[in-house]
Amino acid sequence: MEQDKYTIIGQFDELVESDKSLAQAAMDALRFSYAPYSTFHVAAAIRLADGTVITGVNQENASSPAGLCAEQVALYRKGIEFPEKEITQIAIVARSGDKQDLVPVSPCGNCRQVMVEFLHRQEPNYSILMKWEGKSWIKIHQVDSLLPFSFTAKSR
Ligand code: THU
């Protein structure tokens, strides 16, 4: 991905206040992650244009395909609770096993497809903030740059 499409931020303290609070909402939600099989815990927090924040966490299942990623849980929750409101940003964080430190996370292909579908339900683009390598964070300015040449309603 070209470097103008994302910004790497050195550490949490260097995030702007709005990024910090959304990242914190995702970190706070991590404890609700249900991931007994992978022990990879993921949380997503979505900010809407009016400031509302919605969270989601991964929900695993003994039959693994029945599980759902954190991003999709958060987005579908948004779809039913606030269908008319616009998304401005999503923050995603993850933790692995017993380790307390956050680990890097990047949305899977299915989640990117769902994110793009939600983008097409509103006018403005939205950004994705994720925990990255070491102490750093990464901000993808426009969600659709995560899924170029995507399959959309226009493709059908
Ligand atoms: N997972 C997410 O919830 N979001 C991501 O962006 C990456 C993967 C979940 C799915 C599964 O419960 C666990 O992480 C390990 O694959």
Does 11 fall in a domain? Answer: yes
Nearest protein CA to atom 6 of ligand 1, as residue: 107
Asked if residue 41 belongs to a domain, the reply is yes
Q: Catalytic positions, please?
A: 71
Total of domains in the chain: 1
Indicate the burial class of 147 (C-beta count within 10 angstroms; 0-12, 13-18, 19 or more). Answer: middle
Average pLDDT over residues 36-45: 98
With a cut of 90, say whether residue 139 has pLDDT above it.
Answer: yes
Query: Is the shortest distance between the CB of 105 and ligand 1 below 6 Å?
Result: yes
Give 2-34 pLDDT, tens digit per residue: 889 999 999 999 999 999 999 999 999 999 999
CB 71, CB 111: distance < 8 Å: yes
**CATH assignment of the domain containing 75:** 3.40.140.10
Domain hosting residue 14, numbered range:
3-147
Task: Answer yes or no: is the C-beta of 68 below 6 A from any ligand 1 atom.
Answer: no
In this prediction, residue 112 carries a pLDDT of: 98
